[in-house]
Amino acid sequence: MSVTVQLRRKGILTLPVSLRRKYSLDENDVFTLEDLGDGSFLLIPHVSNVARLGNRVADLMAEEEISLEDMLEALDEEREDYYREHYVQA
């Protein structure tokens, strides 16, 4: 796929909406710009590990039909168990 973009004031490039949607790119995403040395550039998006892992958790929760409330309740229970095991003297 080849598209034409225009360099605007302050070096701003606008990526076509079709590419932003295809690759789930949003405002403030970070990219690496590689200078290939022959006047060509390679633009590489950085995928946030937090966002990637968050999406993975959301997918797994949907597959297992686990709600956010279920997960928060389980986390509360785990936190209480951890506290009892590590801080409460028998």
Q: What is the pLDDT of residues 39-67, one digit of tens each?
A: 999 999 887 778 778 888 999 999 999 99
Q: Which helix (H) or strand (E) segment is 28 a member of?
A: none
More confident: 24 or 83: 83
The answer to whether 13 touches 25, Cβ cutoff 8 Å, is no
**Residue 2 placed within a domain:** no
4 within a domain of the structure (yes/no): no
Q: Which residue's entry shows tokens 């506290």?
A: 83
Contact call for residues 29 and 37 (beta carbons, < 8 A)? no
Stretch among 7-16, 49-58, 59-68, 72-81 having the lowest mean pLDDT: 49-58
Domain shared by 39 and 54, yes or no: no
Do 40 and 53 fall into the same domain?
no
Determine the Cα–Cα distance for residues 38 and 52; give it in Å rounded to an integer.
33
Q: How far apart are CA 68 and CA 56, in angstroms?
A: 14
The count of domains in the chain is 2
